[in-house]
C-alpha cells in the first residue's frame, strides 16, 4: 500500500463518518444558528484540532496504550460522559428559565446574548476541544482504523498526521456547509419559542451522547 492508495480509502471512511449526524454537527448547528458565527468557527476548529491530536497520539502509540489500560480508558470515558451530560442539562435547564413569550427577540437559552463580546472563536474552541479530547471512542476509532492505512516504509508519525489532516480538511469543509445552512435559520430563531426548541433539541442530543458514552454503547 502506497501513500496515494492509502489516502483515498481513508478519506472515504472518514468522509462518511463526518457526514453522519452526531455531537459535532449538533454543536456547530446550534452555535451558528444562534448568530454566533465566530463561536461556531471556534467549535469547528476545536473539533478538528482534537481530531489532529488524536491522530498524532495514535501515530505515537498513545491511544493504543489508553485502550489497553482499562482504568485510564474508563476514567476518560466517565469524565467525557459527565461533561456532556452537564453541558446538555445546563442547556435544557436554561430553556425553562426563559420567558415563554413568543414573537419577540430573546437571548439564547444559555443566558448569553449574541454580542461581539460573547461571540468569540476561543469560546467555541474551548468547548468543542474538550468534548473531542474527552471522548475515548475517537481514540479507539483511530487506534483501530488508522494503522490499516499506514503505508509501508513511511514515517509512522508523519503518515498518521497526514491521514488525520485529511479528516480535518473534510471536517472543515462540512463545517462550512453547516454554518452556511444555519445562517438561513436565523430569521426563524428570532422568536423565543424557536430558540427554546433549538436548545432543547441540542441539549437533549448532547446529554444523550453523554449517557450513551457512560453506558459504553
Burial 32-54 (b: 16+ CB within 10 A, else e): bbbbbbbbbbbbbbbbbbbbbbb
Domain span at 94: 3-215
Asked if residue 140 lies in contact with residue 59, where contact means CB atoms within 8 angstroms, the answer is no
Rounded Cα gap, residues 90 and 73, in angstroms: 26
Using CA atoms, how far residue 184 sits from 35, 42, 95, 209, 217, in Å, is 10, 19, 22, 26, 34
Digitized pLDDT (tens) for each residue of the chain, 217 residues in all:
677 778 888 999 899 888 887 888 888 888 888 778 888 999 999 999 999 999 998 888 877 776 777 777 788 788 888 888 888 888 888 777 754 444 444 444 444 444 445 678 888 898 899 888 888 778 888 888 888 888 777 888 888 899 999 999 999 999 999 988 887 777 676 667 777 887 788 888 888 888 887 887 5
Rounded Cα gap, residues 104 and 22, in angstroms: 30
Residue (of 187, 185, 138) closest to 30 by Cα position:
185
Q: What total of structural domains would you count in the chain? A: 1
Amino acid at each position: 500500500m502506497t501513500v496515494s492508495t492509502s489516502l483515498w480509502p481513508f478519506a472515504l471512511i472518514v468522509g462518511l463518518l463526518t457526514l453522519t449526524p452526531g455531537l459535532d454537527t449538533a454543536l456547530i448547528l446550534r452555535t451558528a444558528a444562534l448568530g454566533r458565527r465566530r463561536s461556531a468557527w471556534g467549535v469547528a476548529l476545536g473539533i478538528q484540532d482534537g481530531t489532529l491530536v488524536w491522530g498524532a497520539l495514535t501515530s505515537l502509540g498513545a491511544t493504543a496504550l489508553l485502550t489497553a489500560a482499562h482504568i485510564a480508558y474508563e476514567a476518560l470515558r466517565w469524565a467525557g460522559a459527565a461533561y456532556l451530560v452537564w453541558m446538555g442539562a445546563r442547556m435544557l435547564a436554561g430553556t425553562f428559565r426563559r420567558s415563554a413569550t413568543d414573537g419577540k427577540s430573546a437571548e439564547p437559552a444559555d443566558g448569553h446574548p449574541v454580542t461581539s463580546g460573547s461571540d468569540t472563536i476561543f469560546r467555541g474552541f474551548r468547548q468543542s476541544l474538550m468534548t473531542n479530547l474527552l471522548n475515548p471512542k475517537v481514540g479507539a476509532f483511530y487506534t483501530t482504523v488508522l494503522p490499516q492505512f499506514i503505508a509501508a516504509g513511511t514515517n509512522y508519525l508523519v503518515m498518521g498526521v497526514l491521514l488525520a489532516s485529511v479528516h480535518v480538511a473534510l471536517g472543515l469543509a462540512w463545517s462550512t456547509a453547516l454554518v452556511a445552512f444555519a445562517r438561513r435559520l436565523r430569521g426563524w430563531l428570532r422568536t423565543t419559542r424557536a430558540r427554546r426548541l433549538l436548545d432543547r433539541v441540542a441539549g437533549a442530543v448532547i446529554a444523550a451522547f453523554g449517557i450513551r458514552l457512560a453506558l459504553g454503547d
